[in-house]
Every structure is written in C-alpha cells, then in structure tokens.
Structure 1
Amino acid sequence: MASLGVGNLGEFLREQRRQARLSLRQLAEAAGVSNPYLSQIERGLRKPSAEILQQIAKGLRISAETLYVQAGILDERAQDAAGGAAERAVPGVREAVLADPGLSGQHKEALLQIYDSFRASFDKTSEQASEQASDMENTEKEKD
C-alpha cells in the first residue's frame, strides 16, 4: 500500500504514544479504534478523519488541534486567524513541550493548559489596554 503523505503525522503519533508509555493496543482501545487501523495511521498508510484524530488526541491526552496541524487539516496560521490565543504565542513553545521526552502526556497537558491560560490572560490585558488608549485618544479629539 502506498504512503498517503501522512508520515509526519504517523511519526508524531508514534512518538507521542511512546512518551505517554502506551502500547499500540492501549492507545487503540483508549481512542476507540482498531489496533491494525492505528498501526496503519502510524505507518502513514491511512489518513484519519478529524473525528478519529480527536479520539486519538483524547487517548494521548494532548490537544486535538495539535494533531490537526500535524495532519494538515488545520493550518497554524488559520488557527491564529481564528483567535487561538495560545497559537499566537512565540513559535516553538507548544512544540517544545510536546516534543520533550522527559514529560508524560499528563505533564504536557498540564503545562499547555497553564501556558494557554497565561496567554489568554495576556491577550485580554493587551486588548483592554488597547481599548483604553483608543478611548483616551477619542476623548482628546472630542476636546479639540
């Protein structure tokens, strides 16, 4: 069977599964897919749907968006435009956390949740400051 160009996704999934210390069978069971199907995804022979990727992400305890980007379903720039606060952050932070072999899946999820909350808080504060500056500017113009 020919590769479908999803080898990077398969390699990424395999690495995430190994870091989470899950066997192929354990992840397949957690994701609700068959063992052979998950094996084919990891080998780049099958291209999973967004729903299957979501189930796999849940089994790995990582964000589905991360898998969507890896699979080419979601472009990181499109995710930025959609308003993903964490995705507007410095490139590489999320990838570094996800790629760290010394962290378990649970640790990665916790770190990314904390990071996302900091980014969301920062974005909200920046937006409020921008609105206040705009309001002050408009007030000054009205006085003139």
Structure 2
Amino acid sequence: MAKLTVGKTVEGLGEYLHDQRRQAQMSLRQLAEKAEVSNPYLSQIERGLRRPSAEVLQQIAKALRISAESLYVRAGILDLDESGARMVEDAIALDPRLTERQKTALLDIYRSFVGSDVVRNEELADVVTEANQEEA
C-alpha cells in the first residue's frame, strides 16, 4: 500500500511540475537547462516515473522561480502544514501581471504579516538534509 502512495505522490509532483513549467512558458529543454538536469531525467520526473532528490527539486524550483517547499510537499518530503504560506508566495511569484519590484514588495509585506521565523527555516534545512541523505 505504501508503494501506491509513493507512486501517486510522484505522479502528482510530475503533473504539478508540468503545470508550473507551462505557466512559466518554458519548454522542457529550457527548464532542464536552467535547472541543470538532463532533459530525459526531467521528462521522467514530469511523467511520474522518477522521484527526484530534494536537491534536484530545489534546482527545479529555482529555475521555475517557485518555492522549493511547495515541491517538497508535492514529493512527500514535507507536510502541508509546514508550507501553507509558501503557496501564497508561489502565487505572487507566478502572477504575470506583477512586475518584479511589485512581487518583491508583496512578498516582503506578506512575510511581515505572517512572520517568518528562523526556527522554521532551520527545521526545513534539517528536513531537506535528511531527505538528501536518504536519496544517497
């Protein structure tokens, strides 16, 4: 039963990445190049055939300009409760109607209202490190 859950998690991650890539108006090849992963490997991730490491997810998130945490949730590395605010940040970052300056200002304001604490960031770093060690 756990295998089925992992499979659905990887498929969901792949669909989410595909949607994010299309919203960013990037080809598979462009994203692979920006994320510094191979084109076939990225294709396999999008099709739900491969489960990427936390490090690869971080590279993909950076290339798509979304939070790595949202990908970690989709991959089953983090619980949804730990990243609720990140979904709002992703929405702001992906809104094509906003300039970069407006996005930065909105993110700063949002973070000041919800409060970003250092402890949460340290916990996230620990989770990512642990996930990377499991992949190795």
TM over 0.5: yes
AA at the equivalent of 1:28:
A
- Counterpart for residue 71 of structure 1: 75
- Counterpart for residue 127 of structure 2: none
Contact 1:8 1:70 in 2 (8 A): yes
- The 1-side partners of 2:100 and 2:44 are apart by 26
- Counterpart for residue 110 of structure 2: 119
Contact 1:53 1:64 in 2 (8 A): yes
AA at the equivalent of 2:14:
G
Q: Give, in angstroms, the shift of residue 115 of structure 1.
A: 4.3
Q: Which structure has the bigger radius of gyration?
A: 1
- Counterpart for residue 7 of structure 2: 4
Q: Give, in angstroms, the shift of residue 119 of structure 1.
A: 3.2
Q: Find the residue that maps to 1:4 and give its secondary structure.
A: helix
Contact 2:31 2:60 in 1 (8 A): yes
In structure 1, runs of 5+ residues without a counterpart are 81-85, 125-144
TM-score by length of 1: 0.61
Residue correspondence of structure 1 range 48-63 to structure 2 within 5 A? 48-63=52-67
Pair 1:31 & 2:35 matched: yes
Q: Give, in angstroms, the shift of residue 72 of structure 1.
A: 1.3
What root-mean-square deviation, in Å, do the aligned CA atoms of Structure 1 and Structure 2 show? 3.1
AA at the equivalent of 1:38:
L
- Count of residue correspondences: 109
- The 2-side partners of 1:44 and 1:108 are apart by 33
Identity of aligned residues (%): 56
TM-score by length of 2: 0.65
In structure 2, runs of 5+ residues without a counterpart are 116-136
- The 2-side partners of 1:68 and 1:109 are apart by 25
